[in-house]
Amino acid sequence: MKILTYIILIIVFAQFVTLGECFATEEIVSATPSIKITSVQSCNWLNKCFRQNNGWIGGDSAYSINIDPYKAIWLFGETFIGSIEKNKRTNFDLIHNSLAWKDPFSATGCFQFFWDTNKPKPGSLFKTNKESERYYRPADGCLVDGKLYIFFRQVQKRDKEAEDWFNFETVGTDLFRVENPKDKPTKWQITKTSLAGPILENGAACLLAGDYLYIYGANPFEMAHMFKTPLVLSRISKQNLQQLNVSAIEYWCQEGNKYFWGKDASKRALLFDAAGEFSVKKLNGIDGYVAIYISSLDNKIVLRHSLKPEGPWSDSVLIYTCPEANKDVIAYAAKAHPELSFKNNKLVITYCLNMEKLAYHIKQPDIYFPKAILVKFSSN
């Protein structure tokens, strides 16, 4: 069981899949960042909320999705359920996904965590139809007209007999529609469908803008270089989304110098090199949209800014270099959480840390919790 291996494959490198098709390779990037970082500090109250000693004792990914103006759900990937005693994880199980929700006006202001408790051993909250063969890792999502939509990647072992570090792959993406997202997650009524077409890391980030849900995905055709995660963009109208009519998804395409929305996946345009998990959000005090991510295992959180979901995107702006990262620890999966930022020009960002061996996670339990920082910025 090698957690870092899983993350390298699924989050940072995505998968090495040859799609046998061509697409545009010129990144859609402009050169004028419009945001300046003025300060960064630890977000202590949120870090304390993550740091549990019993039950939920660590998870990665940490996507947050608003389900009303003041309440958000949080989605986690690989999750430890157990105890931390004498600064060690003990009596734990490792499950594939979990969920929390946070109400800033609750008595503690912290999280309530959810996983499957219907059997003696803890289980993943969201399960595939063939859980012994493949499982769900959550991606991003969005609330649309009172219903919650979440992308889940189906993950399986590449070789059932092998135990090497690169023995996992994404084999598809499912889209969930939750009819009653304000009820407890264990009571959710879920309808789901599978996305057809190219196997992308769909749902790496989502953005609701106007009449469309924009879906950012990592394009595996370009994954022959392990340290690149080129992004592509698709969209679906709210009307088709509500019907789970994923056949209506269209792609941001390129032919020469012409960019357009179309149905031909072979003409997908590249946006920029980012990550298998990140965020694209509308921020208070900023026109347009901001993408935040860590790319290429460089342990640096950066942002890009654009007035439109499809770009052009600014050059990257350095926000923060994760101090915990070293030869044994990687930082990844940075995301913005504007629902926690009630003032203009402030933003809460989380990132995740991981190590190569399970034994390290037992002895160093502080590593495998999301880390939160508070960023102050100004716009030009």
| Buried/exposed 339-350: b ≥16 CB within 10 Å, e otherwise | bbbeeebbbbbb
- pLDDT tens per residue, range 223-258: 444 556 789 999 999 999 999 999 999 999 999 999
Q: Which domain holds residue 119?
A: 3-29+45-288
Residue 380 has a pLDDT of 74
Tell me: cis bond preceding 323? Omega within 30 of 0 counts: no
Rg (CA), the chain: 19
Number of domains observed in the structure of the chain: 1
Residue 68 has a pLDDT of 87
H/E element holding 375?
Answer: strand 371-379
Please indicate, yes or no, if residue 165 is contained in any of the structural domains. yes
Please indicate, yes or no, if residue 201 is contained in any of the structural domains. yes
Residues of the chain with pLDDT under 50: 1-25, 164-166, 221-225
Please indicate, yes or no, if residue 207 is contained in any of the structural domains. yes
Residue 247 has a pLDDT of 94
How far apart CA 68 and CA 258 sit, in angstroms, is: 39
Phi/psi for 186 (5° steps) reads: -70, -10
Cα of 365 vs its chain's centroid, Å: 22
Residues 6 or more apart whose Cβ sits within 8 Å of residue 54: 82, 83, 84
0.85 exceeded by pTM? yes
Please indicate, yes or no, if residue 333 is contained in any of the structural domains. no
Bridging pattern class, strands 201-209 and 300-306: unpaired
- Do the beta carbons of residue 342 and residue 348 sit within 8 Å? no
Please indicate, yes or no, if residue 127 is contained in any of the structural domains. yes
Which residue carries 């101090």 as its tokens?
A: 323
Residue 28 has a pLDDT of 63
What order do you get walking across the sheet with 289-294 strand by strand? 279-281, 289-294, 300-306, 317-321
Residue 331 has a pLDDT of 94
Phi/psi for 332 (5° steps) reads: -165, 175
Helix extents (H) in 220-343: 238-242
Please indicate, yes or no, if residue 342 is contained in any of the structural domains. no
Bridging pattern class, strands 98-102 and 346-355: unpaired
Please indicate, yes or no, if residue 39 is contained in any of the structural domains. no
Please indicate, yes or no, if residue 316 is contained in any of the structural domains. no
- Do the beta carbons of residue 169 and residue 192 sit within 8 Å? no
